[in-house]
Structure 1
Amino acid sequence: MQLVVARIGRAHGIKGEVTVEVRTDEPELRLGPGAVLATDPASTGPLTIETGRVHSGRLLLRFEGVRDRTAAEALRNTLLIAEVDPEELPEDEDEYYDHQLMDLDVVTTDGVEVGRITEISHLPSQDLFIVERPDGSEVLIPFVEEIVTEIDLEEQRAIIDPPPGLIDDRAEIASSRDADDSGDDSGKGSEAGGV
């Protein structure tokens, strides 16, 4: 099974290094020297990692055969894909591979069906579940502990405790105007006249 583990960013320096946006919780395992990775687009790979280092909080990689800035820049936005055994599980019990989460049913803590996970979006700040609702619409669920309270792989479901307004239109909005409105309409609006 193939998993996207990184996306190549800008060239760094003049000797063929590139920045990478890491998309794995195990970069030391997936992005170490000697790792051979498939690519998307496939025409740019496979790529073999020659060296890796961290510089100013960013992972820099150099690939075999990529020796200058021009060659490194040509790899920009390429996805790096690792071949992973489908039975392999992440080291931490609270971590999941995307393929484990795809197609899980999403239900609230009180048993209300929300939909099914159709995609996982990896953003810099957090991951998002893209959930298709029974009516065909989509809802975005942040994959954070406060909202996704449990992943039950046995039952094939993700249990969520959404804040008001996340999955419905009933957001709780507090307004100072609501508190001041006593229902007295005197002095407001127009007069109603009859003939």
Structure 2
Amino acid sequence: MAASGAARTQLRVGRLVKAHGLKGALKLELYTDDPDGRFVPGAVFTLQVPESSPWHGKTVTVREFRWMNSHPVVFLDGVEDRDAAESIVRAILWIDQDETAGAEDDAWYDHQLVGLEVVRDGDVIGRVVRVDHLPAQDLLIVKLSGDPDREVLVPFVAAIVPEVDVAAGRVVVTPPAGLFEELPGDDADEPRPAEGPAEDAATED
């Protein structure tokens, strides 16, 4: 989520994925390594919802957080029944920077990532131009140095982006083959002309 200034910078910590039970509980998809520390009673979150949602422009306050059958579940003030819970499903929860600064070593804000050089095997191959937040994972959108008209979608996971150094202005990538370039060998896969007796038979005709 892009920020308009330092005071408005926010960190995404979860998404409400499903109503649970009849008393307003909601199952969570977590984007934080410290859910028990984030979702304490009284914690306030900004909601990312469509403008058509009755929750647009509002915040929510945690009433209770618990684990049910290994699934994280949250109760929110003002969400007292299943109908209210259904109305807020798919909302993404954000928290202000000043409430989270320094709390997680592997969490960055979009404005910190955009503009970083992308380094592969010691060479700068492009630059991060934006961050896309998808339900399954985040993506770094990289504009390639040698082909500025092309953008590559890089999954923002440790296996592919093992190092983020904001101070040095770079991210290090170890992408799988084919992510940044077309794999060679397409021509080699084409069938070759027949050899031997079959070729002789063709010349006899």
What range describes the TM-score normalised by the shorter chain of this pair?
A: 0.7 to 0.9
Distance 1:77 1:191 in 2: 65
Q: 1:6 to 1:106 in 2, by over 3 A?
A: same
CA RMSD in angstroms comes to 3.3
Residues 47 and 59, structure 2, Cα contact 8 Å, conserved in 1: yes
Distance 1:82 1:24 in 2: 11
- Please tell me whether the aligned partners of residues 90 and 97 of structure 1 are also in contact (alpha carbons under 8 angstroms): no
Summarize deviations over 1:84-103 as a string: whole Å, max 9, x none: 129922444xx132333233
Q: Secondary structure at the match of 2:154?
A: strand
Q: Which amino acid aligns with 2:195?
A: D
Q: What secondary structure does 1:74 align onto?
A: helix
Q: Which residue of 2 aligns with 1:131?
A: 142
1:121-150 Cα shifts (integer Å, max 9, x gaps): 3554x5432223342322122334443242
Shift of 1:117: 4.4
Query: In the TM superposition, what is the alpha-carbon distance from 1:50 to its structure 2 partner?
Result: 0.3
Mapping 1:63-82, distance limit 5 Å:
63-82=76-95
* Equivalent residue number for residue 18 of structure 2: 10
Q: Which residue of 2 is the match for residue 109 of structure 1?
A: 121
Corresponding residue of 1:168 = 181
CA deviations over 1:1-33 (Å, ceiling 9, x no partner): 222221112111001111121122232232221
Distance 1:50 1:113 in 2: 47
1:40 maps to 2:53:
no
- Pick closer, same or farther for the CA change 1:67–1:163 going to 2, 3 Å: closer
Residue number among 180, 185, 193 corresponding to 2:195 in the alignment: 185
* Structure 2 residue runs without a partner (length 5+): 1-8
Matched, 1:119 2:127: no
Structure 1, unmatched stretches of 5+, are none
Question: CA 1:117/1:89 → structure 2, altered by over 3 Å: closer, same or farther?
Answer: farther
| Partner-residue secondary structure (3-state), 1:73 | helix
Report the Cα distance in structure 2 between the residues aligned to 1:148 and 1:189, rounded to whole angstroms. 55
Q: Are residues 1:28 and 2:36 paired?
A: yes
SS in 2 for 1:71: helix
| Identity across matched positions, percent | 31
For residues 122 and 200 of structure 2, what CA distance do their matches in structure 1 show?
44
Say if 2:36 and 2:65, in contact at 8 Å, map to a contact too.
no
SS at match of 1:140: strand
Q: Aligned partners of 2:143 and 2:155: how far apart in 1?
A: 14
Shift of 1:156: 0.9
Cross-structure match for 2:107: 96
TM-score of the two chains, using structure 1 as the length reference: 0.77
> Greater helix percent: which structure?
2
How many residue pairs get matched? 186
Structure 1 residue runs of 4 or more that deviate by more than 4 Å after TM superposition:
188-193
Question: Residues 149, 14 of structure 1: CA spacing in aligned structure 2 closer, same or farther, 3 A cutoff?
Answer: closer
Query: d(CA) in 2 for partners of 1:189 and 1:7?
Result: 68
